[in-house]
Amino acid sequence: MNLGLRMKLFFIPIFGFVLTSTSTAMTRDVLSGPISARLIRVVDGDTLAVSALIWPGQHIDINVRLADIDAPELFRPKCITERKRAGEARDFLKHYVGEQITLKAVHLGKYAGRVIAKVETGAGEDLSTLLLRAGLAHTITDPSSWCPKAP
């Protein structure tokens, strides 16, 4: 057996273990909250930049994606209608989100540097629910497009 094949056979099980261990750890790491946070800015219709209080006197600035929903894409829309709806979703959040918010059920997202969480306004309103009711988001399992179907 040549050296290259032996190396592949040696490393494949190790990489498989690391990937499995990492994904298992990520699915277990959930902070139930509540975690107090201050809004820095609304990024788009389903993402906020926040400063979260993680320990007394310790804040972390991080992007938080709203759990369980998918809003229209602002930065890479598939059509002009999606771009318009994305702006409406962003503006809706700007209107409803106060400076102080609460994060619950916080866990890692699939993109580095961002977490997913249930986010509540200072009045205790769930932002994902508000966006769904306003027709500015779909549930995460809804494959519907924001773009009109071609004739």
Break the chain into its structural domains and give their ranges.
1-29, 32-139
- Per residue in 100-139, pLDDT (tens digit) is 999 999 999 887 678 999 999 999 999 999 999 999 999 9
The structure tokens 């602002």 sit at 74
User: Which residue, among 118, 107, 113, has the nearest Cα to 63 in the 3D structure?
Assistant: 113
- Which pLDDT value is given to residue 113? 77
Is residue 1's pLDDT more than 60?
no
- Per residue in 18-52, pLDDT (tens digit) is 444 444 445 568 889 899 999 999 999 999 999 99
- Per residue in 70-104, pLDDT (tens digit) is 999 888 889 999 999 999 999 999 998 989 999 99
For residues 15 and 110, the model is more confident at 110
Three-state SS sequence of 4-58? HHHHHHHHHHHHHHHHHHHHHHHHHCEECCCEEEEEEEEEECCEEEEEEEEECCE
Domain spanning 32-139, CATH architecture: Beta Barrel (2.40)
**Residue 105's CB: how many other CB atoms inside 10 A?**
15
